[in-house]
Chain A
Amino acid sequence: MSTIMEWIDKRLPVTELIKSQATEYPTPKNLNYWWNFGSLALTVLIIMIATGLFLAMHYKPDAALAFKSVEHIMRDVNFGWLLRYMHANGATFFFIFVYIHILRGMYYGSYRAPREILWWIGVVIFFMLMGTAFMGYVLPWGQMSYWGAAVITNLMSAIPVVGNDLVIWIWGGFSVADPTLNRFFVLHFLLPLLVFGVVFVHLWALHAVHSNNPVGIDAHDDKDNLPFHPYYTIKDLYGVGVFLIFYCYFVFFAPNAFLEADNYIPANPMQTPAHIVPEWYFLPFYAILRSIDFLGSFSKLAGVIAMVFSIAILFILPFLDRSPVRSFRYRPLSKQLFWIFVANAFVLGWVGYNPPDASLFSGAIPLILIGRTSTAIYFGYFVILWLVTALDIEKPRPVPKCL
């Protein structure tokens, strides 16, 4: 065995790579459980690609056949129901993990120097995931698939000059129809493989600068670090076990909890559902889109820009935060801002879920006002974080010298 490995290592240093990048890869010893969510997201990505591959063997990307082929998978394919429910609920867990992963980075300052490129690649992955999830939701070709696709692709028409032509180009016709479904299937198949590739660039960037940690200072020597194996392999595996328990509860006992009833009605271009809602993980951004309704004919374009910018703003976050301290653990003001930001994201999600003409307390507070306020708070986080740190308003507490 060892002679075979020696032969290989001389030509391709596999052992060296595994040692330096996996088993002996130095990892800060004080990482808490919030650091589990990167490996959990990767686990879900693998589950999604594996189940998706087998679903694609039975699915038909044809407007006349798609809906029925999904039910064919549910009823006739051996364990097809398991594949489909794992895939559908996997999307939910994917976004839960990615959101926690991003928020963990925001709380502990993982976006700060020297990890900006690592952070940017993460934001790129997030954009790709959103595109993948959106197109995947269209594939069952139910009412919500169809009308969700219609509403979201229509947003492109807000782009000046080329908007309308762009929408027709994306649709492959004059409405969401068979060509749209077919190309969304192709892209939904392609994108996760690209995501998988970009995840490795993300890991490459991580291994170049190493993990941040809850204290937010650089780990200096062997005293601060542990070899990744066995310490973090077992911790990550334990995390995967806990995840699988929650995940399988939904897959086996409540598989439709996150799905809309309307999506079990076949797509009907002649009949608009009473209330079109996107999947839960897009709701906060959908709320931001709808909250910009006070700019007359520019509202649509402004809403789209606000929605895209609400995520793209993460690109400049490393430059907005000017604090000398990375971790919010030692930054009382930033910490409060952070929790307001998180709570506000839930409010935005709730606003996005409800019809735009709804109101609280018998019409006393129109929902649109709550949506606008929450949108302001969302962007306000970034502005105030910048002001508080750039003007040195925040006085950080003393930071430990070692982990």
Chain B
Amino acid sequence: MRLIKTFFAVCVAAAMVPVALHASSGAPVLPEQSWSHTGIFGSYDKHAAKRGAQVAVEVCMGCHSISLIKFDQLRALGLSEVEVKKLAEVQGRSKNDRMTSAMDETAAKDSFGVIPPDLSLITKARKGYEDYTYALLTGYPSEAEMELVKKVMAKGAISEQDALEVQSALLINAHDKEQMKAKLERLVGGANFNKYFPGNFLAMPAPISAGSVQYADGTDNSLKQLSRDVVTFLAWAAEPTMEERKSLGFWVMGYLFVLTILLYAIKRRIWAKVH
């Protein structure tokens, strides 16, 4: 019986733990970010989300829509009516319009080959959630990394040392040099490369870089800061009712704990005569 129990425990554990499987895809591990809105006590960082709304409208919405949100709803993040109107005008909309991009879908398809996905639910619609969106925005090769790629490609053959260097910079598997070379060639040729996009090549060129947006309050506008802000905004856009949900949840849980303890006490009392 002990053997059976051990077998049982091992099987259940194996089923629960995601064992490292050698599947066909080997997407790199996403760096874990800390967000104020995750976890059971989490709430949105309104300041970041407000800044992120500006990034979204001025940068992302050049191509993408966020159609499940209306401009006027941005006031929930602390934007004034005037600020909302100004942002709406960036895309030629008014404050009661949905946040749709000024670029039309046929034009987008002509330029990029695909219709840019709507971003309303993007942080819920990708494995890795917010961390993935952040990784994607910050995962385009930097200038230094491009220099490295050019240097390696100029030599012709990729040495072991170069392969490892490229692997640590761009997160491409160093074991498969053929594939690495093919990827670097495409990259040098001008294709859009991203460290975290499955398969690395995507239709979207690097959307933001340091300084893409000027914050009115002078907040740092490095790539990391802009990305964090816009991801915070997108997380809010994906679920504006999250804070209401969590705060109601605490009352419900508190009530249920008291109720269940009482039910247990009554159960004990009633059954005392039987045992």
Residues of B within 8 A of A251 (CB): 249
Q: Is B144 an interface residue (CB 8 A)?
A: no
Cβ-defined contact, A350 with B15, below 8 A: yes
Q: Is A357 an interface residue (CB 8 A)?
A: yes
Q: Which of B56-64, B87-95, B158-166, B260-268 has 4 or more CB atoms under 8 Å from chain A? A: B260-268
Give which listed residue, A82, A238, A245, contacts B267 with CB less than 8 A: A238
Q: Is B154 an interface residue (CB 8 A)?
A: no
Cβ-defined contact, A347 with B125, below 8 A: no
Give which listed residue, B8, B21, B257, B264, contacts A367 with CB less than 8 A: B21
Cβ-defined contact, A253 with B23, below 8 A: no
Which residue of chain A has its CB nearest to the CB of B1? A336
Cβ-defined contact, B267 with A349, below 8 A: no
Could you pull out 12 A-B pairs where Cβ atoms are within 8 angstroms?
A: A74-B239, A82-B248, A231-B270, A234-B267, A238-B263, A238-B267, A245-B257, A252-B246, A335-B1, A344-B11, A355-B23, A357-B24
Q: 0/1 per residue, B11-40, Cβ < 8 Å to A?
A: 110111001011111000000000000001
Q: Is B126 an interface residue (CB 8 A)?
A: yes
Max chain B Cβ within 10 angstroms of own Cβ: one of A332, A346, A354: A346
Q: Is A242 an interface residue (CB 8 A)?
A: yes
Q: Is A14 an interface residue (CB 8 A)?
A: no
B96 to chain A minimum Cβ distance, whole angstroms, is 15
Given contacts A29-B274, A82-B245, A360-B21, contact A248 B252 (CB under 8 A): yes
Residues of A within 8 A of B270 (CB): 230-231, 234
Q: 0/1 per residue, B108-134, Cβ < 8 Å to A?
A: 000000000100110011110100000
Q: Is A53 an interface residue (CB 8 A)?
A: no
Q: Is B7 an interface residue (CB 8 A)?
A: yes
Complexed CA–CA distance, A357 and B24 (Å): 7
Given contacts A249-B253, A336-B1, contact A347 B11 (CB under 8 A): yes
Complexed CA–CA distance, A235 and B269 (Å): 11
Which residue of chain A has its CB nearest to the CB of B41? A253
Given contacts A262-B125, A264-B124, contact A253 B14 (CB under 8 A): no
Complexed CA–CA distance, A335 and B2 (Å): 12
Scan residues 338-374 of chain A and give those whose CB is less than 8 A from a CB of chain B. Answer: 339-340, 342-344, 346-347, 349-350, 354-355, 357-360, 362-363, 367
Residues of chain A touching chain B, judged by Cβ–Cβ distance below 8 Å, are 29, 68, 71, 74-75, 81-82, 85, 226, 230-231, 234-235, 237-238, 241-242, 244-245, 248-249, 251-253, 255-256, 261-262, 264-265, 274, 332, 335-336, 339-340, 342-344, 346-347, 349-350, 354-355, 357-360, 362-363, 367
Q: Is B240 an interface residue (CB 8 A)?
A: yes
Which residue of chain A has its CB nearest to the CB of B247? A252
Which residue of chain B has its CB nearest to the CB of A347? B11
The A interface, classified by DSSP as helix, strand, loop or mixed, is: helix
B120 to chain A minimum Cβ distance, whole angstroms, is 7
Complexed CA–CA distance, A258 and B115 (Å): 29
A181 to chain B minimum Cβ distance, whole angstroms, is 19
Cβ-defined contact, A241 with B249, below 8 A: no
B35 to chain A minimum Cβ distance, whole angstroms, is 15
Q: 0/1 per residue, B223-258, Cβ < 8 Å to A?
A: 000000000000000111100111011001100110
Q: Is B216 an interface residue (CB 8 A)?
A: no
New A-B pairs, 18, CB < 8 Å, besides A237-B267, A340-B4: A29-B274, A81-B241, A82-B245, A234-B263, A238-B260, A238-B266, A252-B252, A255-B245, A262-B125, A264-B125, A265-B121, A340-B8, A342-B8, A343-B10, A343-B11, A346-B11, A346-B12, A347-B11
A72 to chain B minimum Cβ distance, whole angstroms, is 9
Which residue of chain B has its CB nearest to the CB of A235? B267
Give which listed residue, A244, A256, A261, A359, contacts B256 with CB less than 8 A: A244
- Give the size of the chain B interface in residues (CB under 8 angstroms): 50
Q: Is B259 an interface residue (CB 8 A)?
A: yes
Residues of B within 8 A of A357 (CB): 23-24
Given contacts A253-B246, A360-B21, contact A241 B263 (CB under 8 A): yes
Max chain B Cβ within 10 angstroms of own Cβ: one of A71, A81, A343: A343
Cβ-defined contact, A350 with B22, below 8 A: no
Cβ-defined contact, A234 with B248, below 8 A: no
Residues of B within 8 A of A349 (CB): 15
Residues of B within 8 A of A71 (CB): 68, 120-121
B272 to chain A minimum Cβ distance, whole angstroms, is 11
Cβ-defined contact, B25 with A274, below 8 A: yes
Complexed CA–CA distance, A363 and B238 (Å): 39
B273 to chain A minimum Cβ distance, whole angstroms, is 9
Residues of B within 8 A of A360 (CB): 19, 21-22
Cβ-defined contact, B22 with A359, below 8 A: yes
Residues of A within 8 A of B248 (CB): 82, 252
Cβ-defined contact, B12 with A343, below 8 A: yes
Residues of A within 8 A of B7 (CB): 339-340, 343
Given contacts A75-B68, A241-B263, A261-B125, contact A359 B11 (CB under 8 A): no
B262 to chain A minimum Cβ distance, whole angstroms, is 8
Residues of A within 8 A of B267 (CB): 234-235, 237-238
A55 to chain B minimum Cβ distance, whole angstroms, is 15
* In the complex, the 10 A-B pairs of residues with the closest C-beta atoms, listed nearest first: A252-B249, A241-B260, A343-B11, A346-B15, A264-B125, A350-B15, A343-B8, A358-B21, A238-B263, A253-B40
Which residue of chain B has its CB nearest to the CB of A284? B15
Complexed CA–CA distance, A231 and B273 (Å): 10
Max chain A Cβ within 10 angstroms of own Cβ: one of B7, B16, B22, B25: B22
Cβ-defined contact, B21 with A339, below 8 A: no
Give which listed residue, A68, A253, A339, A359, contacts B8 with CB less than 8 A: A339
Residues of B within 8 A of A346 (CB): 11-12, 14-16
Cβ-defined contact, B15 with A347, below 8 A: yes
Residues of B within 8 A of A265 (CB): 117, 121, 125
Residues of A within 8 A of B24 (CB): 355, 357
Residues of A within 8 A of B207 (CB): none
Which residue of chain B has its CB nearest to the CB of A283? B15
Cβ-defined contact, A359 with B21, below 8 A: yes
